[in-house]
Structure 1
């Protein structure tokens, strides 16, 4: 079997089924306990695993069904981190609509540490449900820096930011070691920050927080590399770049050119899940920087709209991308998850399945297998 990422792949999150949404509400209201909620989650995960396998996917996730947000549920389980409100952002939707949303901001009032396994039990359950390759998705360590900057990091705990970067990477190394020991060999880091640095408004916002947007890609590559440096040689680590994915809306725009050289050559990962579902992600020219041995998973099928793509158009865009990098280093996926937060995108379950099937069918057509 091909090493991940696979020719037909996906980012990881799926629309939550009604029974799971109801169970979460019952848990919040005290009508069921944590064990009761986990049982409903387990049942829903078994079903979503079967769905992925039936469509022909080799990389299998739990749909992120145990999470409310793609990042906070993980990050808050590290020592020294707390949630402190949100930063108001205008998210954009197709058709020119805007959506006001305040993504949670993480603050670091104390020393960061990894006191317990975070994803291991969830990984072990997922692995018990599938005969394919289980994939774990976790937020990139950079999610603890970009949105808050220096002000979000307590100056007494970390008078020197280098110590913060070192502790953060050490905590991630501990979690990755735990996952590796459990058998995980397919890991994805979800990162909005490198993609946000392709957007001039977001770059200016970074300047206002006291950061140099030209230096941040190098810093973030260093933090991620330090976080994954001890991974097993046979573990595939990939990064997913996202410009925001909340209820079919996004927060950033712009092609990958401002970060491409660092992204592809300094970041020591195996593959990249890149958004390419509409013009806001730019053209394929930045792919000329991709070196041999790395895979780019083109997110050509949108999760934000239910309208179906024409398979011929998807194939044509793959051919276009292949003028900038070798076809055998390219794979295909939806551009993001279908439900980066529990709220889900404005798309129906049958449309979700149809888009996933399209990815598999086109991959078989282009490469002969998925």
Structure 2
């Protein structure tokens, strides 16, 4: 099939964040591959077949944009970073310390100057996704934000390859800009950058308010993040939508960070994205008071209220969600708001603690509520 991008503005009224629970067939194929029982080609054959199934399911549900469920990767962020020129995989020997769980110890580190890689494996994956996306539906490409290279010791080696930190940041922005342009050349019209750095900064800026030296370090990270993101977004094609998903961590239904958006609202308001997915599925996210600053009066920008959790199977009350959307519309006009789940369902291959059917039921709830609220399908 060929894909014709729809003209409806994205993010759509009912949107999908990205990752979906890995099917049992895909999990089994990975286990056989790692055990040396099947080849890489055999694994890809299963991956393609299972991706086709979840694409068909998203289309059947009536989603206007769909993803490949991130079935081509193990981690939401590391698989992409490893594909950039100048970034390599290594064992950090430490896991991410989620509340109540620990991850594998994979990580990324600089091994040279960062640059666009024309052979990045995600390009082939996007082309496959596009080939199975029907007309009238938009394939959405998700990648991690460049800020994910600035954290967790991933940039410690920068002095080996750069004279200044700013030169390093400029290369990161350029690599991302060229990567996004190549996705566009392949037919992508909707790209989402997933980002846990802002939630990390919420906690750090608050924790260090009485320690000026430590606080300045995190202010610098926030300022650098704004600079790099806006630099990579500059001069992209007008018919390309680029959004961001502000994530608080998602691993086996656990989380990393808590706190309201107040401390980062001014920074988020400076970002030149077309839309921001903001997690508001629990009390850990605070109230809607910072929304006005984050939206910053941009009539062309949409704020995605991520009010339906992907971490548990229990269905939210429809009327309660509609009431929260109404509350948020006091800060941002209803026409600039949309709805989605709080995160993907499987930011890593392990997945959250719910079934595939419960996953689809959650996405159907998002759609039902959005159609009732906006009625502009």
TM-score interval for Structure 1 and Structure 2 normalised by the shorter chain: over 0.9
Q: Distance in 1 between matches of 2:178 and 2:66?
A: 23
Q: Any residues of structure 2 matched to 1:1-370 within 5 Å, and which?
A: 1-84=7-90, 85=92, 87-92=94-99, 98-101=100-103, 104-118=106-120, 119-131=122-134, 132-148=137-153, 152-200=156-204, 204=208, 212-264=217-269, 266-289=270-293, 290=295, 291=297, 292-370=299-377
Query: How far apart in 2 are the matches of 1:211 and 1:139?
Result: 25
Q: 1:216-238 CA distances to partner (integer Å, 9 max, x unpaired)?
A: 22210111111222321110000
Q: Kindly tell me: are residues 202 and 261 of structure 1, through their superposed partners in 2, closer, same or farther at Cα, counting changes over 3 Å? A: closer
Q: Give TM-score, length-normalised by structure 1.
A: 0.93
Judged with a 3 Å threshold, the aligned counterparts in structure 2 of structure 1 residues 202 and 63 are, in CA distance, closer, same or farther, namely farther
What is the RMSD of the two structures over their aligned residues, measured on CA atoms? 2.1
Whole-Å separation in 1 of the counterparts to 2:152 and 2:206: 10
Structure 1 184/300 Cα, relative in aligned 2: closer, same or farther at 3 Å?
same
- Structure 1 residues without counterparts, runs of 5 or longer: 93-97
Distance 2:142 2:57 in 1: 18
Conservation of the 8 A alpha-carbon contact between 1:117 and 1:175: no
Deviating runs (4+, > 6 A) in structure 1? Answer: 206-211
Q: What CA distance in whole angstroms lies between the structure 1 residues aligned with 2:375 and 2:326?
A: 15
Name which of structure 1's ranges 21-30 and 152-161 shifts more when overlaid on structure 2.
152-161
SS in 2 for 1:111: strand
SS at match of 1:245: coil
Contact 1:81 1:109 in 2 (8 A): yes
1:103 Cα shift? 5.9
Report the alpha carbon displacement of residue 109 of structure 1 after superposing the two structures with TM: 2.9
The Cα offsets for residues 24-77 of structure 1, whole Å up to 9 and x where unpaired, read as 111112211111111111111111111111111101100000100001111001
Which residue of 1 is the match for residue 3 of structure 2? none
- Give the match's secondary structure for 2:193: strand
SS of equivalent to 1:214? helix
Structure 1 position 210, deviation (Å): 9.3
CA contact (8 A) 2:177 2:233 kept: yes
Preserved CA contact (<8 Å) 2:115 2:171: yes
